[in-house]
A and B are shown apart, each in its own frame.
Chain A
């Protein structure tokens, strides 16, 4: 209650300052008047009475001040006055204020930007409990899950509250124009696993998962908004997917994505008896039971996978399971480490900025010692002065915070446009409450880090010492200068670490970009086609379509080669085809091999520029009815025929997946040629064994089109669209891009991270050198008298230059030594994230020290020159 009352009084005091003052004045005067009246009544003469009354009351002004000091809100007023004083101090030295604000703003801006990118919550409730579960191949790479294995896992595990599956789909949505939409068929409880409520209507009911009743669809919020104008009457209407009617029963909540940009959701009818383990096409996502640890879940799933492997060795021998954090599955491994690297880097930049500012403030402290000494001599207490100095730093950091926020805002506007920084389910990059709180915390931290030591040092002035000597106290000076040199050494060491980190990452990225993909990527236009099964159910129809398309595209003037393929590099999805080899493991009791099975057409190897190593290529003669022929790559030959010649050998493949023949029938494919490897999955992994079959002998529905030409892409694209329209006007052409774009896309995230690292490294270098310049020029100016004396006594002037520059070099050597050790440690961590990083990279190992040396020499050149040019007569006159 007392607090409330005092708070009210404080506000009133502030708001009605003049009236409060007038009343105080009247009150005190009334008191004095009262005393005088008493004296007059006692017979004292009026003038004398007034004098004595004043004497008894004491100085009226002092009484008033004493009341003011005890008034509620007085502390605040005092702070306000200190603040105004601080502002005046800063205005008196705009160069210093500007430098400090700019330095801190850069650091705060960088930290805020990175924080807002990294610290983005997942949109789902308790997203950190969501896990993806994968099958893993014998080589440890992750794979989608088969229906049989999924059922076993779902029924036997004790660690997931719900374990659901989705199969990614694409279909042509009828309408004008027809569009290719992406989506997923999902098992019951899929939406519950994400704790979602429908945006409109409902999600699937249990009976809609029974075969024959599943012609219902849930639209994504975005599709509903864009394609159906957010019409609420969409419920119970039907949409046509690949020519089949689906009844719309609901709309998903806004921004819900699973693998990214699904337009439509369908029920996935998996019959409970489905024990198929061959076709691995399910994505399995689950929510951990409360209290279950991630490691525990991983262990349990591995045990379950081993059980499956024992029961079905033909398909699952040496296969295992991996439980992965949902975000990590989406964003890729390494991302956490990259984010961590960025966070550490900007924190280091922040510390360096604070060290620099502390350095500047220490320097200013020595020039302000006179002023402080006067204030102490007049009775100001030490803590009061320290508070004043801290307040000035706080003012500076708040201004820096404002400017830093602007910088961060601009940077975030840019970063938010980069697709590489988006991942499904991740909140957008924006300035929100958390970011603002973060900026405020940074301002406070900066004040404390940069201001505390200088404030303490500066306020610990002995006025007596100050007034005794003319040039400031030499004792405190030495302590100051040791502290300041320490800060500079730390900054030099840190800037070396950041430069080495950025340099090594950059080299890793360059090596990645220069890595040979194994084919010619220039001048290639690519696009994807998917043929709806409703109109292209018949394999003969599909073959006819592609034949006609290839002929027409080939006939376009300027087109050199054209081809189709079920995959194009870079691809992370393997059509992993189990097979056996006649004469090696043909007996079904042996485990089957597996290789990537790709269906191609046209002059695929010529379009990509893959050299043929042996045998022949696939041709038009390898058609339906003829002996089935395949081409394999070098990795296939080396892996499965380490000693012999694969040409003429036959592969046995169970082809029921493709709807041809009965499930038990095996097709025999003869190897007729060998081509060189291309790196299809990421440029850094070894080539994967490949089987290439012709579309005339193997069924295909969705295929990529690759066209090599010398003409501009846009022109070719128009001609290809025209050609497609004459064959099937209903078919959309999607994923149009050049091969160069396709190859660089997976590296986009890495490029952004490395660019940021390089920017921060330069910022760090600038800060390191600015701090060094400050210390060197300051200490040189303090030693002016000494230099003048040396010159007078006959020292050559270049000796003075050497003294100053040598001092800088000394700092560099210490800082560089410490930095090199730290950088070595960092490089050991980096190896795990970036391909081929080695601390002993010759380019980085020479470039970084040279850059640092150049900057240090540049930073010490001016002060050294100035010291060398000292005029002894002028310099010594001041002593």
Chain B
């Protein structure tokens, strides 16, 4: 499903990142791997889209970052959700459900 990554809607990527970070902290590679895992390999987020999104979301105030040490004792930048980020996740989740519901209804409707 390689081409899906280019088709990732921006909103979807934000939603996935916010979800992947969860309540804790995660660095770039961790987030990337976590997204791959929770979507069961459907989405692989490459650094070329991951990092611009992380920086944009941090600048928007949804994420905050701090430097820490990775499992391999390397310096890494960790991201954490802010309160605004949690609110944003909630909002985007609802929006997504609406779209999914609407699309499901549309596709299930009887064809004229």
Contacts and interface: CB of A to CB of B under 8 A. Distances in A.
Bind each other: yes
A569 B61 CA distance: 79
A549 B31 CA distance: 108
Nearest to A64: B51
A813 interface: no
Interface stretch (A30-38, A128-136, A192-200): A30-38
A31 B33 CA distance: 11
B51 A67 contact: yes
Contacts of A63: 47-48, 51
Nearest to A73: B59
Nearest to A37: B72
B61 A2 contact: yes
A58 to B, nearest CB: 5
Contacts of B84: 1-2
B55 A28 contact: no
A33 B73 CA distance: 11
Contacts of A5: 59-61
A1 B29 CA distance: 29
Contacts of B28: 27-28, 30-31, 34
A15 to B, nearest CB: 14
Contact of B59 (A34, A62, A71): A71
Interface in B31-90: 32, 46-49, 51-53, 55-56, 58-61, 70, 72, 74-77, 84
A67 B48 CA distance: 8
Contacts of A37: 72, 74
User: Does more than half of chain A's interface fall in helix, strand or loop, or is it mixed?
Assistant: helix
Contacts, number: 79
Contacts of B93: none
Interface in A1-16: 1-2, 5-6, 9-10
Given A30-B27, A30-B28, A66 B48 contact: yes
A56 B5 CA distance: 14
A34 B29 contact: yes
Contacts of A24: 51, 55
A28 B47 contact: yes
A71 B55 contact: yes
Contacts of A71: 55-56, 59
Interface residues of B, number: 24
Interface size class of A (residues with CB under 8 A): 20 to 34
Given A28-B51, A31-B28, A57 B46 contact: yes
A27 B70 CA distance: 12
Contacts of A27: 28, 51, 76-77
A72 B59 contact: yes
Contacts of B32: 31
Contacts of A2: 60-61, 84
Contacts of B49: 66
Contacts of A62: 48
A52 to B, nearest CB: 14
Contact of A66 (B29, B52, B60, B77): B52
Nearest to A30: B76
Contacts of B29: 30-31, 34-35
A26 interface: yes
B51 A34 contact: no
A23 B53 CA distance: 16
Given A26-B77, A28-B47, A71-B59, A34 B52 contact: no
A58 B74 contact: no
In this complex, the member of A56, A57, A69 whose beta carbon has the largest number of chain B beta carbons within 10 angstroms is A57
Contacts of B46: 56-58
Contacts of B52: 66-67, 69-70
A66 B51 contact: yes
Nearest to A27: B77
B30 to A, nearest CB: 8
Contact of B56 (A31, A34, A70): A70
A673 to B, nearest CB: 97
A26 B70 contact: no
B7 to A, nearest CB: 17
Given A28-B51, A37-B72, 4 more contacts: A24-B51, A33-B74, A34-B74, A70-B53
9 contacts: A9-B58, A28-B51, A30-B70, A30-B74, A37-B74, A58-B46, A58-B47, A63-B51, A71-B59
Interface of A: 1-2, 5-6, 9-10, 23-24, 26-28, 30-31, 33-35, 37, 56-58, 62-63, 66-67, 69-72
- Top 9 nearest A-B pairs (CB, nearest first) are A5-B61, A9-B59, A70-B52, A34-B29, A72-B59, A27-B77, A30-B76, A31-B28, A63-B47
